[in-house]
Structure 1
Amino acid sequence: MAISPRPAAVVETVEEIMRTYRSLPARPTIEEVEAATAILTSSNCEEEAKIDELSRKSKPNGVPDELFFVLQEVKRNTVQLLALEQRRDALRVLDLDRRFRVLDELIQRASKLVSDEYGDDREDNPKPIVGLSVPLPMIDRSLVTKEKEVKAGSDLPKELGRDSSLKSEIPSGKDTEKLSLIMVASLIETLAKKGAGVLDLQGKLMDQIEWLPTSLGKLQDVTELNLSENRIMAIPPTIGSLRFLTKLDIHSNQLTNLPDSIGELSSLVELDLHGNKLISLPISFGNLTNLANLDLSCNQLSMLPDTFGKLTNLRRLILETNELEELPYTIGSWICLVELRLDFNHLKALPEAIGKLENLEILTLHYNRIKSLPTTMASLNKLKELDASFNELESVPESLCFAINLVKLDVGRNFADLRSLPRSIGNLENLEELDISSNQIRVLPDSFRFLSKLRVLLADETPLEVPPREIVKLGAQAVVQYMADLVAARQASPRPAQKKSLWSWICSMIFCRPKNKISITKS
């Protein structure tokens, strides 16, 4: 069938349709539509959860019923208002998409009319125009002809391959620009389809974003996820779907709890949760059996679940600045643990099971309420650093002196409680730094003379009499030498030896000391 020439009015009409379509805002991509849908789902769930939590609140004593009702209503409306604000961008995207689908139908109808009238003998009737209130399916864009075919005398243009409707909103990388919730959700959809392995959103989310969409679970190929330094208050349960995730960083957010599904991250090796508001951990946390590095510092944890003992591959555990009063008895299973930091808690004692941590090298207990150290610490053969300062220690157990690889020992600032050091402290021949500041120690034990590697001795505000303060001021090795001379003098004479003047001893130390180090051999 010969193609009839098109009247000028028809051509002009086609071109006007083209011009009008070109003037439209950018069309949302498939990923953005999916992201918007995920946001609406997540937002509804978050809103319901918060309102449900509000409904369970009890009225404080002394508050009138009506006043409490007003408070609850204010909070409920605030939750709904914030949820509406969070859904705003998503609703805009879905509305744009719905209207573009209507335009798709109209363009298809015009295309059919032109084809039927000027050279196309198909009998198909044009599809009816669908109302704006009716959601339309996504059409195949290949149904609309290309613009170059119009110039050749063919049908209507294909102008649907537009840039993302959110493209202009995506940050250019400047630190001052942040991602909105719809942009984050869209990014998740895009990365999920690309099979991306790393997602870094450190400090990149707008302050209004308090949760992440459930579509986060689509990132099943991600191995590293960084959500740190934002204001996230909740992690979606779908995070458990990230079965290949090995590194998760959520530090410096507003989390108060974790979903049970966190325990499904069986490949996780590194987890950083410091600087949140966690008050408890789910029992499922113990299922993270491949975890090697865990930072839970600066939270509000008062206890750890017993299942923590199942984390047998832990090498580094940071629990500083929490509200822990005790450790689970199951800690003896942490046989791979190298570093354990428990500073700034409310611990009153350590479990005896700590002696089973045979690979432990660093143990810090600064600022707790510990009165004594367990005797089982004698088994910590690899321990190199122990900080028990700012506690309530009444003594240091003799058994600790079997930890012969200890290099740094800090028992300072136990104030009136600590009055002596263990008699066998000389066994710690590798000790290089010792802090006994602000205690009530008056006499160092004789075995102190064997600390030949000691280079730092801090004894400020400690009323030492043996050795005298003047000797302490000369440095660690001067103290070691003084104790060696004192013991030697005592052993050399069967009767009390004439007391050597302190000034004479100091002069002999300064002017008559041999150049080579004095070698002290235990008898």
Structure 2
Amino acid sequence: MSFFNGGEQRKDPIQLIQFEETFQRLEELIQKTDSGNTQMDNLINLEYPDEEIDQNREIIDGILMKFAENENLQSNSVDVPIIPQVFAGRGCTKKMSLMEVATLFENYDKTGASVLDLQGRLMAEVEWLPLSLVKLSNLTEIDISKNEIMALPSDVGELKALKKFDIHSNQLINLPRSIGELTSLTDLDLHGNRLKSLPASFEKLVGLVNLDLSSNFFTQLPDSIGNLSSLEKLNLDKNELEELPSAIGSCTYLVVLQVNFNRLNSLPEAIGNLVNLEILTVRYNRVKNLPETMCNLQSLEELNSSFNELESVPDCLCSMSSLKVLNIGNNFVDLKSLPRSIGNFSMLEELDISYDQIRVLPDSFRFLSKLKVFFADGTPLEIPPEIIKLGAQAVVQHMAELVDKRNRFPNRILKGRRGLWSCILSCFCLDEVVPAQRS
């Protein structure tokens, strides 16, 4: 029996029985579709979720939408389930169930809202989004980051107005083919998922400006990455990449390229085509040599190739007149010298050669008039510690004085703290200038 507070009975008790039956059906389907880690293991070997899962999702979606349509049930009925009103946004910390998300989407569909923010808002059991998401045609920004989402709706490409899509820190294993239909997309953040490959349709995202694929499981990138002609920032950190495709040289609008913590053995010659590149970081790889074509990167302001296996630095690199930060430290025992023309880095403000085997600074070092930071920890350089403590310009001045002494006393040999040196070209930490012994 059903009781109502008030003179008017709003809902037929028969409808309550239908709700109860629907709830039971919904619970059974959710348990069948949402099988936790087992579901994850099944999806790892699939390019796309299987048909049964998609069918179940559609059935559940239909049920959820029925509830969403009845969200205005009168609260004075003690037997009728009430769908709670939910709000999305950073200010709300309540975790949302799948049913609440469906209700939210129904509200968004009615109001025509353009921004959906569900960052960290979903219960751990919510591993996919209701298919009704794709009906929210006014959405321009979606943030569903920091959840446990395993799959996106297969028709996500219908969100034609979408410009920013943040899906970082989820459990995505694959991307749907339709993602290539998001032709208005400019920002896509996929870092911190379980992706190993990109669908062929990805090459259609020619409007992408910022793309973050870091902290995934990519072992290679498709050549089609070169079709992303508008790309300005590409983050590939913390993957398993052994090489970059030559096609990346076609992304000529790239300003920032990050490929740290991978397995690169080299950089492609085509990297020299990235004439607008300002920041290039390839830390923690296995790179032994930098290609000569990098000398074409006249817009480069920061180059970080620390923690590699560099044997040398191309002398022509010093033609990069815009370079402000150069970090070639921690290249183990391989890197033993700096380019002779390092003084051509007229804009250089920071230089790091820490834990390299560099013993001698080139004469041109004295021309680095804008150098503010100089790291040389763990190197065999014979520069007095008290001079290094005074800062980068003190080292520059020290080099200038050494060169001046050599010019004034070309026929002298010098006595240093670590013994007699045969040539002033390799002397640092000088105590005194002594007359050369004559035979």
1:488 partner letter = D
Q: Would the aligned equivalents of 1:377 and 1:403 in 2 still touch at CA under 8 Å?
A: no
2:422 paired residue number: none
1:457 maps to what in 2? 374
Q: Does 2:207 align with 1:315? A: no
Which residue is equivalent to 2:148?
Answer: 231
Question: Whose Rg is larger?
Answer: 1
The match for 2:99 among 172, 182, 191 is 182
1:401 is the counterpart of 2:401: no
- Scaled by the length of structure 2, the TM-score of the pair is 0.79
Question: 2:204 maps to what in 1?
Answer: 287
The one of 6, 9, 12 equivalent to 1:21 is: 9
CA contact (8 A) 1:39 1:90 kept: no
Alpha-carbon contact 2:186-2:210 (below 8 Å) kept:
yes
Letter in 1 for 2:403: V
Instruction: Report the Cα distance in structure 2 between the residues aligned to 1:198 and 1:96, rounded to whole angstroms.
Output: 20
Q: CA deviation at 1:457?
A: 0.8
Task: Output the aligned Cα RMSD.
Answer: 4.0
Are residues 193 and 450 of structure 1, via their aligned partners in 2, closer, same or farther at CA, if it must alter by over 3 Å?
same
> Alpha carbons of 1:269 and 1:165: their partners in 2 closer, same or farther (altered >3 Å)?
farther
Tell me the amino acid that sits aligned with residue 390 of structure 2: L
The amino acid of 2:333's aligned partner reads A
Cα displacement string for residues 354-389 of structure 1 (whole angstroms, at most 9, x for unaligned residues): 111111111111111111111111111111111111
Cα drift, residue 437 of structure 1? 0.5
* CA–CA separation in structure 2 for the residues paired with 1:504 and 1:17: 99
| Counterparts of residues 186-265 of structure 1 (less than 5 Å) | 186-265=103-182
Equivalent residue for 1:439? Answer: 356
Q: Does residue 1:168 correspond to 2:81, yes or no? A: no
State the distance in 1 between where 2:184 and 2:64 align. Answer: 38
Instruction: Tell me what 1:148 maps to.
Output: none
Which SS does the other structure have where 1:386 is aligned? strand
User: One-letter code of the match for 2:263?
Assistant: H
* Secondary structure at 1:192 match in 2: helix
Deviations 1:115-143 (A, max 9, x none): xxxxxxxxxxxxxxxxxxxxxxxxxxxxx
Counting only pairs closer than 5 Å after superposition, residues 341-490 of structure 1 correspond to structure 2 as 341-465=258-382, 467-490=383-406
C-alpha contact 1:90 1:182 (8 A) present in aligned 2 = no
Q: Relative to 1, partners in 2 of residues 1:18 and 1:504: Cα closer, same or farther, differing over 3 Å? A: closer
Aligned to 1:168, the other structure's residue is in SS state: coil
SS at match of 2:99: helix
Query: Using the alignment, how far apart are the partners of 1:223 and 1:55 within structure 2?
Result: 29
Do 1:38 and 1:214's aligned partners in 2 also have CA atoms closer than 8 Å? no
Report the identity percentage: 51
Distance 1:462-1:246 versus aligned 2 partners, 3 A rule: same
Could you tell me which residue of structure 2 aligns to residue 492 of structure 1?
Answer: 408
Taking the aligned partners of 2:4 and 2:415, their CA distance within structure 1 comes to 114
1:488 match: secondary structure: helix
Q: Which amino acid aligns with 1:239?
A: V
SS at match of 1:457: strand
CA distance in 2, matches of 1:317, 1:56: 25
| Pick aligned residue for 1:330 from 228, 233, 247 | 247
How many equivalent pairs are there? 398
Compute the displacement of 1:298 (Å): 1.3
Mark the CA change 1:93 to 1:398 in structure 2 (over 3 Å): closer, same or farther: closer
Deviations 1:282-338, CA, capped at 9 Å, x for gaps: 121111111111111111111111111011111111111111111111111111111
Query: Which amino acid in structure 2 is aligned with residue 223 of structure 1?
Result: T
Q: Distance in 2 between matches of 1:302 and 1:284?
A: 19
Helix, strand or coil at the partner of 1:235 = coil
CA distance in 2, matches of 1:346, 1:377: 20
Looking at structure 1, the residues matched to 302 and 114 of structure 2 have their Cα atoms a distance apart, in angstroms, of 38
SS of the residue aligned with 1:400? Answer: helix
Aligned to 2:214: 297
CA distance in structure 1 between the aligned counterparts of 2:185 and 2:43, rounded to whole angstroms? 36
Give the superposition deviation at 1:193: 3.2
User: 2: CA distance between counterparts of 1:385 and 1:481?
Assistant: 24
Change (3 A) 1:307 1:45: farther
Cα distance change, pair 95–86 in 1 and its aligned pair in 2 (3 A): same
Q: 1:490 to 1:413 in 2, by over 3 A?
A: same
Within a 5 Å distance, the mapping from 1:482-521 to structure 2 comes to 482-496=398-412
Alpha-carbon distance change, 193 to 37 in structure 1, aligned in 2, over 3 angstroms: farther
Displacement after TM superposition at 1:279 (Å): 1.3
Q: Secondary structure of 2:257's partner?
A: strand
Name stretches of at least 5 consecutive residues in structure 2 with no aligned partner: 17-23, 46-51, 418-428, 433-439
1:53–1:345 distance in 2 versus 1, CA, 3 Å:
closer
Q: What is the CA-CA distance between 1:172 and the residue it aligns to?
A: 9.4
Distance in 2 of aligned mates of 1:342 and 1:52: 28
Q: Distance in 2 between matches of 1:259 and 1:429?
A: 49
More strand by share: 2
